[in-house]
Chains A and B, each alone.
Chain A
């Protein structure tokens, strides 16, 4: 009778060596996720110089450029693009901008000659991206306008909610 416990202990020892018990070690981490509002607008360069070189009595003369493009990406709904100019255009002249849009509503030709406060040019933009859409600038000189030396304006396009 006294040998049975001894045999039992010995057997347990053999099992323990052959099959070690697992050691548990756990850590917990808190992962915080957040999707922030995103609005990205990029343009490709500047338009070519808009030089009026003709005159017609009683008629406006215009010149346009459509070489630059814009791309947007946003995860917001119902955002828009607005445009403003850093200084008003000379008397008798006008500067218009037209942004094409594949996913929203382009306002069309927008006169920004005196748009010191931003004006809408594309509205109703939803989530997603819209790449390589054209930007057309049109410079108009009235028939009564004399010569204007080469000048420049800065036009700011803003994608905003």
Chain B
């Protein structure tokens, strides 16, 4: 919108004004940060050698009505710390491990998930569920 003019008010001041419309908003979003394994417990696996870290950190966005899901490829790790940053006040974080032969486990976050905006999740890879192939982990954040 364009406005321009010359206005001299009763005090003799000369003014010229223009008005701009500023539109803004904040989207509901989640962000998953997978930290390196250095701060987690390491449980060596038989025959796997040294524990490896996660290859990449992940970032995702989600809307209030949708669950957000991402898959991370892990090297043979044993324990992991996951940080969930979210703009929602209520959420459930589900960590699901899928192994090569199709077994899965579901872990829930510790702490007060209803009020915290940052949630740390510690979980282990149970030996019994690990196959020979690289496991995949699915993180799901829902409100």
Check A70–B26 contact: CB distance below 8 A. no
Partner of A39, one of B6, B83, B117: B6
Find chain B residues with CB under 8 A from A155 CB.
Answer: 19-22
For chain A, give the interface size range.
35 or more
The number of residues on chain B lying at the interface, defined by a beta carbon within 8 Å of a beta carbon of chain A, is 36
Instruction: Please tell me which stretch of B27-35, B42-50, B98-106 contacts chain A, meaning at least 4 of its Cβ atoms lie within 8 angstroms of it.
Output: B27-35
| A22 contacts B by Cβ under 8 Å | no
Question: Contact at B4–A42, with CB atoms within 8 Å?
Answer: yes
Assess whether B128 is interfacial by the CB under 8 Å rule.
no
Assess the B24–A50 pair: CB atoms within 8 A.
yes
Task: Known contacts A42-B2, A57-B117; decide if A149 and B25 are in contact (CB<8 Å).
Answer: yes
- Given the complex of chains A and B, what is the CA–CA distance between A93 and B64 in angstroms? 20
* Binding-face segment, A1-9, A10-18, A25-33, A138-146: A138-146
Are B25 and A146 neighbours in the complex by a CB distance under 8 Å?
no
Q: A39-B16, A146-B87 are in contact. Are A93 and B1 (CB under 8 A)?
A: no
A40 in contact with B16 given A54-B61, A146-B87 (CB within 8 Å):
yes
Interface hits, A64-96 → B, CB 8 Å: 68, 70, 72, 74, 76, 79, 93, 95
Give 6 closest A-B pairs by Cβ, nearest first: A148-B26, A147-B28, A49-B23, A57-B85, A43-B18, A41-B16
Told that A148-B25, A159-B17 touch, could you supply 14 new A-B pairs with CB distance under 8 A? Answer: A39-B16, A43-B18, A45-B20, A49-B24, A49-B25, A50-B22, A52-B24, A54-B29, A57-B83, A72-B16, A93-B26, A145-B26, A146-B87, A160-B16
A: residues with CB less than 8 A from B are 37-47, 49-58, 68, 70, 72, 74, 76, 79, 93, 95, 135, 137, 139, 141, 143-161
Q: Could you tell me which B residues sit within 8 Å of A by CB distance?
A: 1-2, 4-6, 8, 13-31, 59, 61, 64, 83, 85-89, 117-118
